[in-house]
Amino acid sequence: MKGAVCIITRHVLSILAANNAGVLSRISGLFSRRGYNIDSLSVGTTEDPRYSRITVSLMGDERVIEQIQKQVAKLVDVVDVIELASDKAVYRELCFIKVEAGAAVRSDIFNIASIFRANIVDVTLGTITVEMTGDRDKLEAFIELMKPYGIMEIVRTGLTGIARGWDTTYVNTQAM
């Protein structure tokens, strides 16, 4: 449609694929060959060890996302591809944040971590490492509060998600 406005938004795709060597490389290669940027990527084995769930977060308009879904679905080891709509799914990300923490500021960091329901997973004489899960906005807010203390390192897993309630993010693999 000529003159149509394309609205670029974040989309989350949930891909069920055979748990075989090279599958992730083929899927990510498809994105790069087509010029699509992946914002985050997480992968793990499902309840059935024959399959892995790949969660991909990316920006695009509806037409681009639909095209990506069709292209990914054509790959040999891909069983199913669905979009996890934000109103019908739960998204989370895991993050480790290592902060400089001398004795004078240690209790402040502990208090902020408590407010965000984060876990302290390592403490040394000069550092604290915090483990936190949540949506992107929550993690970004916590990171901003930690900047004045001196962030030494941040490690993030990337987004993962699951459908809410009785909806599922998989096809029946028992029949396969």
Q: What percent of the chain has pLDDT over 90?
A: 69
Which among 32, 21, 108 has a CA at the least distance from the CA of 72? 32
Task: Tell me the backbone φ, ψ of residue 104, rounded to 5 degrees.
Answer: -70, -30
* Residue 3 DSSP class: T
- For residues 110 and 32, the model is more confident at 110
Q: State both tokens at 15.
A: 């891909």
Q: State both tokens at 70.
A: 């069709």
Is 161 in contact with 14 (CB distance < 8 Å)?
yes
Is the pLDDT score of 3 beyond 60?
no
pLDDT confidence of residue 172? 58
- For residues 59 and 130, the model is more confident at 130
Average pLDDT on 118-143 reads 96
Task: List domains and CATH numbers for the chain.
Answer: 9-83 (3.30.70.260), 90-160 (3.30.70.1150)
pLDDT confidence of residue 43? 94
Three-class SS of 105-163: CHHHHHHHHHHCCCEEEEECCCEEEEEEEECHHHHHHHHHHHHHHCEEEEEECCCEEEE
Is the pLDDT score of 175 beyond 60?
no
Is the pLDDT score of 92 beyond 70?
yes
pLDDT-based confidence at 7, cuts 50/70/90? confident
Q: What is the pLDDT of residues 26-51, one digit of tens each?
A: 999 998 888 888 999 999 999 999 99
pLDDT confidence of residue 13? 95
pTM of the model: 0.82
Q: What is the pLDDT of residues 136-153, one digit of tens each?
A: 899 999 999 999 999 999
- Measured between alpha carbons, how far is 158 from 55 in angstroms, rounded to an integer? 9
Q: Report CA torsion sign: 87, 90, 32, 46.
A: negative
